[in-house]
Chains A and B, each alone.
Chain A
Amino acid sequence: MSIEKKPTAPSLEPFKKKLEVIQRRSFLKKSLSIGALSLLSGCTLKDEDAVDKILWAMSQWNDRVQSFLFSPDKLAKTYTEAEITNPFPFNAYYEEIFAPIVDGENYRLALSGKIEDKKSRSLEDLRLLPQISQITRHVCVEGWSAVGKWGGVPFHLFLQYIGADITAKYVGFQCADKYWTSIDMQTALHPQTLLVLDFPGKSGETKYGFPLKVRIPTKLGFKNPKFVTEIFVTNDNPGGYWEKQGYNWFSGS
């Protein structure tokens, strides 16, 4: 008879890093259709990873190019009330019925990272700041576009007000629907980037991001987070929900 060791619970811990890499890459695996293979004459299935790497590297190169093309004072076109798309399309990574409903009265915006005044803010606090409204075109990564009206605090004023370190590279957003995304500081400081308190749709309609959204007319739709619960400033690129699956990070327009 031999002495049995006490069995330990199996753990994924040692593989965690590898699993993450696999997850991150899975989209590009999917992207390797037969069509792609037939184009890569001379390449075998084993080169799948090489193709992934090239596409990721090109996406990062495109981030740099877009950052270079971005001009801090070039304004997105604005439209008239008559040009507003009505009803404004709802779009998220889930169906409309799953859109979170956040209690505005007890809502507090959390602040973290390279920010001097990290006190959380209520909607009332944010209403005390200067408000503007603008009508701009929302361009979705899928191709469609819609004109909408958003109102709120110019984001650069807000960053100034909370004492954000504007020499930092990134501003990240966490949302009530578990969505997250991040933008570059120069886009955050763009005069049309808006901390949104007034939304499209009928009054009382919350699905467009109530109580807080960030509207960025110089970026594709998915870079405009809704139901924002936390804003943070950092030097490490936080990525985002879609970005980590393979959508281009900068996604400027």
Chain B
Amino acid sequence: MLQKTPSNRTINHRRIIHPLFVRITHWINAYAAIAMLMSGMRIYNASPLFEFKFPAELTLGGWLAGALSWHFAVMWLLVINGIAYLLYGIFSGHFIRKMLNIGAISAYRNIKLEMKYLLLHGTGEYNVIQRLLYVLVIWDVVLLFFSGLALWKPVQFQRIADFMGGYEQARYIHFYGMVILGLFILIHVSIAFAVKGTIKSMFTGRLTKSQIAKLERN
């Protein structure tokens, strides 16, 4: 947790800040989520819910059948990888340690610290905005999964479809879920590019030299 680590942070520069399991599932997820998003936009274009279509260059599959093939192939990767990540997150303590300390009390107690480290990246700790966004996007993917099931199998998974408010409403929920995912990816990727070293450490799992130097200045 943030509050007890400012001094600990610089103790061991070689320590793993992103566990291997998180790194592997992260990159598989990155591939799967982007493929789902791009093919999903092409599927949307076949029968748009609103007065616009997505530019074809942003989509995957070439035409509806291709996009559907991609979507229904990659969904397995997304779901299997997602379940593996969730199980790891729950049982390894990863979620508790790094994400679920969003609570009002912890935020209040550590308000100064939080302000100071609000946008600090590349420490292996998630800052408060990261924590909020990551929890949000995990729930968003869960929502996409269930609304997707309702669309794929509105008869066999009738209960899920009913829960979503019926087939037509599930289309809107799936669409808004996709918008949230798209916005998350935009923010996440821009910050990753803006903050030096974060992308590299998502591969190596370790702090980069510039990150260590920056931490020591703090």
Residues of A in contact with B (beta carbons under 8 Å apart): 27-28, 30-36, 39, 54-56, 58-59, 62, 66, 69-71, 74-77, 137, 139-145, 217-218, 242, 245-248, 252-253
Q: Is the CB of B65 within 8 A of A35?
A: no
B35 at the interface (CB under 8 A from A): yes
Interface contacts (Cβ under 8 Å), in number, total 105
Q: Which of B31, B64, B72, B154 contacts A139 (CB 8 A)?
A: B154
B101 at the interface (CB under 8 A from A): no
Q: Is the CB of A137 within 8 A of B167?
A: yes
Residues of B in contact with A (beta carbons under 8 Å apart): 31, 34-35, 38, 43-44, 46-47, 57-70, 72-73, 76, 152-156, 158, 167-168, 171
For B68, the chain A residues whose CB sits under 8 A away are 141, 247-248
How distant is the Cα of A133 from the Cα of B38 in the complex, in angstroms? 41
Q: Is the CB of A246 within 8 A of B73?
A: no
Minimum CB–CB distance from B161 to chain A (whole Å) comes to 8
For A58, the chain B residues whose CB sits under 8 A away are 69, 72-73, 76
29 contacts between A and B (CB under 8 A): A27-B62, A27-B66, A31-B60, A31-B61, A31-B63, A31-B66, A31-B69, A31-B70, A33-B59, A55-B69, A55-B70, A55-B73, A74-B158, A75-B155, A76-B155, A137-B167, A140-B47, A141-B68, A142-B47, A143-B46, A143-B47, A145-B168, A218-B155, A247-B65, A247-B68, A253-B153, A253-B154, A253-B155, A253-B156
Q: Is the CB of B156 within 8 A of A246?
A: no
Instruction: Decide: A35 near B59, CB < 8 A? Known: A69-B156, A253-B154.
Output: yes
How distant is the Cα of A145 from the Cα of B43 in the complex, in angstroms? 14
Given contacts A28-B69, A62-B72, 17 further A-B contacts (CB under 8 A): A30-B62, A31-B62, A32-B62, A32-B66, A33-B60, A55-B69, A58-B76, A59-B73, A70-B156, A74-B156, A141-B46, A217-B155, A218-B156, A245-B65, A246-B69, A252-B153, A253-B154
